[in-house]
Structure formats: structure tokens, C-alpha cells
Amino acid sequence: MMHDKFIIFMITLATAWAAPSSIPNSYNAPVQDQFLTTACKADDISPPLSNGTATLPAPPYGQKVLHLAVGRGTQNYTCDSSSSSTAPKAVGALAVLYNALCVAIDNPDLFNLLPDISLQFSTPGGVSGPVSPPSILNYQNLNVIGHHFFFNSTTPVFDLNTPNGMFGNAVMEKADSVNAPHNAPKGQGSNANGAVPWLLLNSTSASTGPVKTVYRTMTAGGEPPATCNGMPSSFTVEYAAHYWFLG
């Protein structure tokens, strides 16, 4: 049965990313995701905080997991010049957030593999938004729960409003980070430069909704090359990660 879930997820991933040019602002889900109701409660799960040697700060007392997503998209970078003496600058990211709460509770091993697995499926055109909601929606979950983008280069936003649920806009700032563990999936093919760090993000006053803290863990890919040598002035690197929303 888990195997079926896995296959269905992979097929929907492969067919759903049919060349959108950007992440849609709104998203018309035709059915209610049963797992956004009462089916899966996050009371007993919490994000991993250690990469093996360094540890992210624990969540503030009393905060609980509200939502849990697999994010799949791109990290964006710019290069001032195409030279080996400059390093790419991170300028944001775009990702679709898939509700992964039930799979995390039912099958943690599969959940932990999802960033790596989903990274191996390309997003045609280098983009990251499903434009074909029905094929993502199946009885086994992993519906779209939101979209991740940047307001500016230091302000990550998680728009958790979809017809599956109006969970608010989490407008965050970086509070802490640790490197991804050494064995984290490094990326796709020749772009395997490493996995982006694990992060702790704090909510800002611009947020709406209950999310106070976001953790990005279990990252796969997303790191740029070490230098700008041969790189264009802007480029994207494919990545996936777990996003934990607490409040």
C-alpha cells in the first residue's frame, strides 16, 4: 500500500509539472484534501534539528507542528561577472509546497526520502509550479498546501492559502542555519553542488495566520557552483526540502 502511494506520487509529480512559466497565485483544487481535516494530527512529530554535529535551536516552548510540507522548486542566484573570483549570490527561491503530514506520520522512512526522490523529477522549463491540480490530487494526499517565494532577497514567504485551506501567509526572516549533513543529496546530474543548509526562520509582523516558526530540513540540492566561472548573470538550481510550520 505504501508502495502504491509512492508510485502514485511519482506519477503525479512527473505529469503535473507541465511547463508553467511561474507559480500560479491561485490554485483551484476541485476536491477537499481529507488529510487537511482531522485525519492526521501532528502532535507527536517534530523536526530533526541536528545535522550530526551542529544543532538548530529547538522550537519555542509550546509551539506545535501545524503543517508539514515537501517543497520542490528552485533556488535563485545571480552572478556579477562570469569570473572565478566572484561567488554566486542567493536571491531567493520558488517552490510548491506539498502537504506531507500524513506520510510523515504513516511512513517516516518514505517521508525522509521524498526530497531526494522528488528532486530527480525535472520541472520543465526550470520552473516549479504545478498547473494541473487534478493530477496532483489523489486519495493518497500530497496535495498542494501552498507556495514559497521571496518578497525580497532576505524575506522568504510561505503563502499557505489554497482552496484546500486558508492557513495564512508566513512572512519570515532567517534566524539560524546549519549545513546540510554530509550525506545529503547533492543535486541533479552535473548540477550536484550540494544541499542547501537547514534553516530556522522566525515569523515577522507582516505574517498573517498562526505560523511563528519554520524549519527547513532534509534538504536535497539547491547549492550553486562555488564560483561564477562560466555562469550567466542569473540562474536557478533545483532543490527540494521538508518545511515544518509551527505555531
Ligand X SMILES: *[C@@H]1O[C@H](CO)[C@@H](O)[C@H](O)[C@H]1NC(C)=O
Contact footprint for ligand X (CB under 6 A): 22, 51-54, 60, 74, 76, 91-92, 94, 126-127, 150-155, 175, 178-179, 181-182, 202, 236
Q: Cα-Cα-Cα-Cα dihedral of 118, 123, 128, 132, to 10°?
A: -90
Write down the least CB distance from residue 130 to ligand X, Å: 15
Minimum CB distance to ligand X smaller for 122 or for 153 = 153
| Structural contact between residues 103 and 111, judged by C-beta atoms closer than 8 angstroms | yes
Write down the least CB distance from residue 151 to ligand X, Å: 6
Minimum CB distance to ligand X smaller for 160 or for 237 = 237
Write down the least CB distance from residue 138 to ligand X, Å: 27
Q: ∠215-219-220 over CA atoms, to 5°?
A: 165
Minimum CB distance to ligand X smaller for 86 or for 177 = 177
Minimum CB distance to ligand X smaller for 41 or for 182 = 182
Please state, in angstroms and rounded to a whole number, the distance separating the CA atoms of residues 191 and 214.
27
Output the residue with the shortest Cβ distance to ligand X: 92
In the chain, the N- to C-terminal Cα span, in Å, equals: 32
Q: Which three cell numbers stand for residue 85?
A: 573570483
Minimum CB distance to ligand X smaller for 16 or for 94 = 94
Please state, in angstroms and rounded to a whole number, the distance separating the CA atoms of residues 160 and 177.
23
| Structural contact between residues 119 and 72, judged by C-beta atoms closer than 8 angstroms | yes
Write down the least CB distance from residue 43 to ligand X, Å: 21
Write down the least CB distance from residue 234 to ligand X, Å: 7
